[in-house]
């Protein structure tokens, strides 16, 4: 029963009920903002100022939009790391580890190809990043399938192990001796850096994220493979009865999930940091879990949710500077929104206005 909890029907085929899927989250979002406004007002701040600066910081100017999208880019990819295995009923919370391993693998690929043309290096980095992240989460899947080890725990433990490996390599065998006070690997090379989407300051990771989300959606809802995965997610026994190879499904889905997070790690190296170091562990993997759950594990819904979260994060600075609110305000607001949106799940199918159209 629980696996069904994790997923809700896809948007596409059930457009009749779409109104419900827009009105209810919008209501939840609205009431969260009201609640947060009351919370902030109780500390003597004007909630109208709050809403204004939030809007201004997240979506009010072209600069704010770019700020928001930049922050959303890695979250789309890391959210897929949780959303894809959820189709099988698996709860993977180790996207951060896959991101770090992916970033390390991508850096390694660039460093072994010092004189190759940039396009080739970037493709190699992306493939290595995806392979690294993919294998990392596949390890959780394999442990689950072959050893019965709970994937939620193993993927969480693997985050801490990945972080230790990253720190060990960056301060030890892979360290560029010239990276004095910020231990890092050698640079992947300025020529190999992936720039911004033309006309913007947002790096290409956003586009990769969008493409990955759309492809995931098609894979899950419009292919036989996706159908098989959803059957297995609904009921493993039934899946075995109809002859599905559950192990193969688990391994492939986990690999794809990790590959998405690994690609996010590759982008952090190739578009932001230029090298691997401890700064890669910025928590994008953990934020991705929230995005996935809020998007109800739907790969397409991940996109707007990631943008919303990016927007809240982008507006946090303005709240600190203008209203003198603590940095944690952003966390409180996110927490309220998540809880409200999740609690609003209970409203679906209850209102007769929607019922007639939904069926």
Partner 1 sequence: MAGAGDIGLWTIPVAVLGGAVRVSTPFLFVSLGECITERSGRINLGLEGTLVMGAMAGYGISYLTGSPWLGVLAAGITGMGMGALHAGICGLPRVNDIAVGIGLMLFGVGLAFYLGKPLIEPTAPRLPSIDLGWWTDIPQLRAALRINALFLIGVALAPILLWALRTTRWGLIVRTAGESADAALAMGYSVNLIRLRATMFGGFLAGIGGSFLSLYYPGSWNEGLSSGQGITAVALVIFARWNPMLCLGASILFGGAAALGPALQSVGFSHGYHLFNAAPYILTLLIMIATCSPKRTLIGAPAELSITR
Partner 2 sequence: MTFDTISRRRLLQGTAALGLGAALPIGGARAAATTIGFIYVGSRDDYGYNQAHAAGAAALKKMAGIKVVEEEKVPETDAVEKTMESMINLDGATLLFPTSFGYYNPHVLKMAAKYPKLRFEHCGGLWTDKDPKNAGSYFGYIDEAQHVAGVIAGHMTKSGKLGFVAAKPIPQVLRNINAWTLGAKLANPKVTTQVIFTGDWSMPVKEAEATNSLIDQGVDVITCHVDGPKTVVENAARRGAMVTGYHVNQAVLAPKAYLTGAEWNWEVLYPRFVKMFTAGETIPNFYRGGLKEEIVKVSPYGAAVPEAARKQADGVKAKLTAGSYVIFKGPVTDNKGGIAIASGVSRGQTDPELEKMNYLVEGVVGATS
- Scanning the structure block, which residue is given the tokens 């959803």? 230
Given partner 2, partner 1, none, residue 117, with its beta carbon under 5 to 8 Å by kind, binds: none
Residue pointed to by tokens 């890092």: 184
Q: Toward partner 2, which CB reaches closer, 180 or 191? A: 180
**Nearest-angstrom CA–CA distance, 65 and 200:** 10
Q: Quick check: 344 and 28 in contact, CB under 8 A? A: yes
96 with 287: CB under 8 angstroms?
A: no
Q: Which neighbouring-strand residues pair with 184?
A: 277
Please say which residue, 2 or 352, places its beta carbon nearer to partner 1. 2
Closest distance to partner 2 from the beta carbon of 37 (Å): 15
CB of 167 to partner 2, least distance (A): 6
Residues found near partner 1 in the complex (CB under 8 A): 1-3, 5-6, 89, 91, 143, 145-150, 152-154, 156-158, 160-161, 163-165, 167-168, 171-172, 236, 289-290, 293-294, 326-336, 338-339, 342-343, 345-346, 348
Region near partner 2 per CB under 8 A, out of 227-235, 315-323, 336-344, 345-353: 315-323
Q: Which does 3 bind (CB under 5 to 8 A by kind): partner 1, partner 2, none?
A: partner 1
User: 240-247 long-range CB contacts below 8 Å, 24 or more apart?
Assistant: 246/145, 247/145, 247/146
CA 177 to chain centre: 33
Q: Are 279 and 184 in contact (CB under 8 A)?
A: no
Residue 1 or 224 with smaller CB distance to partner 1: 1
The yes or no reply on residue 46 touching partner 2 (CB under 8 A) is: yes
Taking every pair of C-alpha atoms in the chain, what is the biggest distance, in angstroms?
Answer: 68
CB closer to partner 1 out of 113 and 294: 294
Asked if 289 and 96 count as a contact pair (C-beta separation under 8 A), the reply is no
- Nearer of residues 57 and 89 to partner 1, judged by Cβ: 89
Contact 113, 120 (CB under 8 A): yes
Pick 14 or 60: Cβ nearer partner 1: 14
Report if residue 279 touches partner 2, rule: CB under 8 A: yes
Determine, following the binding rule CB under 8 A, whether residue 134 of this chain makes contact with partner 2: no
In DSSP terms, 338 is beta-bridged to none
Q: Shortest approach of partner 1 to residue 161 CB, angstroms?
A: 5
Q: Which is nearer to partner 2, 28 or 307 (CB)?
A: 307
Are 323 and 37 within 8 A, CB to CB?
no
Spatial distance between the Cα atoms of 264 and 258, rounded to a whole number of angstroms: 10
Which position among 56, 152, 204, 234 is part of the footprint of partner 2 (CB under 8 A)?
56
Q: For residue 52, state whether it binds partner 2 (rule: CB under 8 A).
A: yes
Question: What pairs with residue 185 in β-bridges?
Answer: 175
Q: How many CB atoms lie within 10 A of CB 59?
A: 17
- Residues in contact with partner 2 by CB under 8 A are 46, 48-49, 52, 56-57, 60-63, 67, 70-71, 167, 171-172, 177, 180-183, 203, 268, 272-274, 277-279, 282-283, 313-314, 317-318, 320-322, 327
């Amino acid at each position: 029963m629980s696996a069904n909890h994790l997923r809700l029907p896809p948007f596409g085929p059930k457009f009749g009920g779409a109104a419900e899927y827009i009105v209810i989250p919008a209501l939840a979002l609205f009431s969260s903002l009201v609640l947060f406004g009351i919370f902030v007002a109780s500390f003597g701040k004007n909630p109208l100022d709050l809403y204004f600066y939030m809007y201004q910081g997240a979506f009010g100017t072209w600069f704010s939009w770019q700020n928001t999208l930049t922050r959303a880019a890695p979250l789309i990819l890391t959210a897929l790391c949780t959303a894809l295995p959820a189709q099988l009923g698996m709860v993977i919370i180790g996207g951060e580890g896959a991101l770090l391993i992916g970033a390390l693998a991508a850096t390694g690929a660039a460093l072994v190809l010092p004189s190759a043309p940039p396009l080739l290096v970037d493709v190699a980095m992306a493939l290595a990043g995806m392979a690294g992240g993919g294998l990392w989460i596949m390890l959780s899947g394999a442990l689950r399938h072959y050893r019965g080890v709970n994937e939620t725990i193993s993927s969480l433990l693997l985050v801490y192990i990945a972080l230790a490996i990253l720190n060990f390599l960056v301060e030890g065998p892979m360290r560029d001796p010239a990276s004095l006070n910020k231990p890092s690997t050698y640079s992947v090379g300025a020529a190999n850096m992936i720039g911004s989407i033309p006309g913007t300051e947002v790096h290409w990771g956003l586009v990769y994220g969008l493409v990955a989300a759309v492809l995931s959606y098609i894979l899950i809802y419009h292919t036989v493979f996706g159908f098989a995965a959803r059957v297995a997610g609904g009921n493993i026994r039934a899946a075995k009865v109809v002859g599905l190879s559950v192990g193969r499904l688990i391994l492939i889905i986990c690999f794809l999930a990790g590959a998405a997070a690994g690609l996010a790690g590759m982008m952090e190296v190739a578009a932001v940091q230029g090298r691997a170091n401890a700064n890669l562990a910025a928590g994008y993997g953990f934020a991705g879990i929230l995005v996935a759950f809020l998007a109800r594990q739907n790969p397409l819904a991940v996109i707007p949710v990631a943008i919303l979260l990016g927007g809240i994060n982008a507006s946090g600075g303005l709240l600190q500077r203008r209203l003198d609110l603590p940095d944690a305000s952003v966390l409180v607001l996110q927490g309220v929104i998540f809880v409200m949106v999740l609690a609003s799940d209970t409203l679906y199918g209850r209102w007769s206005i929607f019922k007639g159209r939904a069926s």
